[in-house]
Structure 1
């Protein structure tokens, strides 16, 4: 039993707390927000006058956009590696290559750190919004890390400790960095809070230059060019150029253009931004997408000749539609207007400015890669040197490239059938994709001899097909009556 005086004291304390809470509830409900803010500000100022500690907050998101703050991410990385040993509540996530678990502080958790004998307290907090939507999901809020220390250590913390945290956090991020494959989101989804301009997945493509089917000299030339670029930050600054480089990969389908891009990313440890031009509304949105890309990245536009018509063909199509029907009814007019609004209005000028205009200097250490099957269709201004600095032709499979594929698929360095394959490859054309398909074992019974025999058969069939095609062309050339008729573009009738 508690003494009477103790019981009376607790009863008084309980009654006082209940009264304070009742008064506070009344104040929050009926007191004007401006007046509440005034009292809260002066209360905090009065409390801080007697509090010897200083606090520094690192919010998760920046003020002007929904992107995560680099400082917040770096602090989170630092704490996950250095301060989570003393934490009691942790969050677990998959680490690099999904091979290990990475632990970080859970919300509302506190840990301590030490720097030059100074005790520093970190806290992970979350400020929830007052008006929450009705949902089964956790309430939204602003996450931030709060750093607390005694005011007598202000100079040491602000000038030395924070630099130490940011430097070590960035080094840990580089070691644990996962390469990402990004794609641009449709423009109409950008205003959504949870939808960003780019969505991403972990990039796990296994392609390497060692597995690329290409002549060794040409392959080494590309590797040297890439490595030189990645180490040339000071050189680009010296000559007054943005730290970027353009690559044009061209050649027939199946010659390994996409695999080449993956090998580039794996060699340099760069992210890939796969830009779908047809999903970009106009040149302004294209520039916004460029701003949202990071350094150490490869911006890819595949099949650039098919992505958009950048030579004014849409205008011709619109003129043609108006000529066919000068007075369309209201339904057709609405349909045409809807199609015009939904279609991309990216122009050749906008794309050129994206590649090497003023906006291309926003950021550094970027590769811009175009791929095409028909390089002759591209505008010369798009692929000139200075925009696409290096043109790489990925052509049909040669014998040296075949030996790389034989080593990859069959673990063969030499074989008696290689002589026949070398002879046939000199007489006909076959893509690396077709060679790889024939070399790939389809069952446990397929050995090296069977796979090589299939390849020889495919080469012989390709040779016969080329010979038959050439014969038909010769016959048409010698007999004018067999030539294909010329079609009048206006009447679409053969002449």
Structure 2
């Protein structure tokens, strides 16, 4: 019997015609469809890799920029990111960077095609930034997850290269750290003139701390270091910390304890989630708290507005939940206003006075501004400064030099105008 005869006999069969045959065909088709779907599921589960990068992850912007440089720039669908940069002369320039827009893009990486899908949830907001929630999903064939690790590492290195030789500042936004402004050109440590041995002592202490973590672990000492710089305003405390960060290739995380809405819990979270290799800076610590001995008679300028408590800060510095491998700098203009518990050893390990200009500082500042000046002229400037009989801050001396950039003689003759 041929196949045609067999089909003819089925169609003439009354049971088949009554629907049993059609049911069998339908059931067979359903089984085939289910089997095909199962095969696709197994294939996707074992032979397709996906990597989701949410917008809150630190590598999100790295990946977008890296994907663009790897070839997705050929796509016709782009988003623009505008940046402003300032040169040493003060001129501001504008640059435009194109990144893949919302949608699907393709690029090739190590002979593998990568599907990139950037999605934006219009009804879901990032509560800290107030912008729609975004994700980037990378899809590739294979089982080698190391490829994604290599991609992330390449993206990180590209991002680091863009900030090479620059200092990055972070500030707290909500419960996370966000980059503040564009990366700044590193300031040479030698450009901040402090008194004899002050800068060298702090640098040596920090280098010793960074290079000997095992010393702390072997002795059961918490691996963290706290510094307090105190002295009159305009004497170089903040400038020195910024230059120090450049010298050590660290980022600076500026935390304002007087910020409205900052709580003990959020402060603790921020201290524990600071970027790696960072210096946490608490400026003007005296403005947020007063000594408990004086609290009955002296009111803080922020009393009633600040929700961070002194006990909360103390716990962040060396409590059970305090983080390890941390470098903390605090600055104040009024050392006597600080609570003794805040500056005891273990919370503040090194205290350094950054004061008005000494003869050493005056001479070195004059040499830096007028490198061709003779030593006799330097000595004359120092003696003339001493004859004023008043304290001179480095900021005021530098401001005076700015008026007489090219004439050291005029700078000395007009010293009486120095404020």
CA–CA separation in structure 2 for the residues paired with 1:255 and 1:278: 23
Q: Residue 380 of structure 2 aligns with which residue?
A: 420
Q: TM-score, normalised by structure 1?
A: 0.62
Specify which of 25, 50, 58 is matched with residue 56 of structure 1: 50
More helix per residue: 1
Select which of 70, 88, 105 maps to 1:82.
70
Could you say which residue in structure 2 is the equivalent of 1:112? 107
Q: Which residue of 2 aligns with 1:286?
A: 267
Please say if 1:397 is aligned against 2:357: yes
Alignment partner, residue 359 of structure 1 = 321
SS of corresponding position for 2:290: coil
CA distance, structure 2, for counterparts of residue 258 and residue 145 of structure 1: 42
Matching residue of 1:146: 138
Distance 1:170 1:132 in 2: 27
Cα 1:83–1:291 change in 2 (3 A) is farther
In the alignment of these two chains, the number of paired residues is: 366
Tell me the TM-score normalized by structure 2. 0.72
2:23 aligned residue: none
- Secondary structure of the corresponding residue to residue 145 of structure 1: strand
Render the CA deviation track for 1:105-152: whole Å, top value 9, x for unaligned: 33324223233x5x23131321545x589xxxxx94532222221xxx
8 A contact 2:253–2:281 mirrored in 1: yes
Give 3-state SS (helix, strand or coil) of 1:202's partner.
coil
**CA RMSD in angstroms, aligned pairs only:** 3.9
The answer to whether the 8 A contact 2:291-2:338 is kept is no
Q: Are positions 1:173 and 2:154 aligned together?
A: no
> Alignment partner of 2:152: what SS?
helix
Matched with 1:309 is 290
For residue 217 of structure 1, report the CA deviation from its aligned partner: 3.7
Cα offset for 1:450? Answer: 0.7
The aligned counterpart of 1:349 is 311
Shift of 1:405: 1.9
What is residue 240 of structure 2 aligned with on the other side?
A: 260
**Match of 2:134, SS?**
strand
2:369 counterpart residue number: 409
Change (3 A) 1:46 1:210: same
> Whole-Å Cα distance in 2 between the matches of residues 249 and 369 of structure 1?
7
> 261, 266, 277: which one pairs with 1:296?
277
Deviation at 1:218, TM superposition (A): 3.2
Whether the 8 Å CA contact 1:310–1:348 is kept in 2: the answer is: no
1:226 equivalenced with 2:220 (yes/no): no
Partner residue of 2:21? Answer: none
SS in 2 for 1:272: strand
Question: Within 2, Cα distance between the matches of 1:226 and 1:409?
Answer: 29
The match for 1:372 among 325, 329, 332 is: 332
Cα distance change, pair 97–271 in 1 and its aligned pair in 2 (3 A): farther
- Secondary structure of the 1:220 match is helix
In structure 1, C-alpha distance between the alignment counterparts of 2:291 and 2:400, rounded to whole Å: 38
Residue number among 114, 118, 126 corresponding to 1:121 in the alignment: 114
CA distance in 1 between partners of 2:343 and 2:295 (Å): 22
Instruction: Rate the CA distance shift 1:347–1:143 in 2: closer, same or farther, 3 A.
Output: closer
CA displacement 1:128-178 (0-9 Å, x = unmatched):
45x589xxxxx94532222221xxx31xx22x3123223323322322246
* Counterparts of 1:316 and 1:449, CA distance in 2: 51
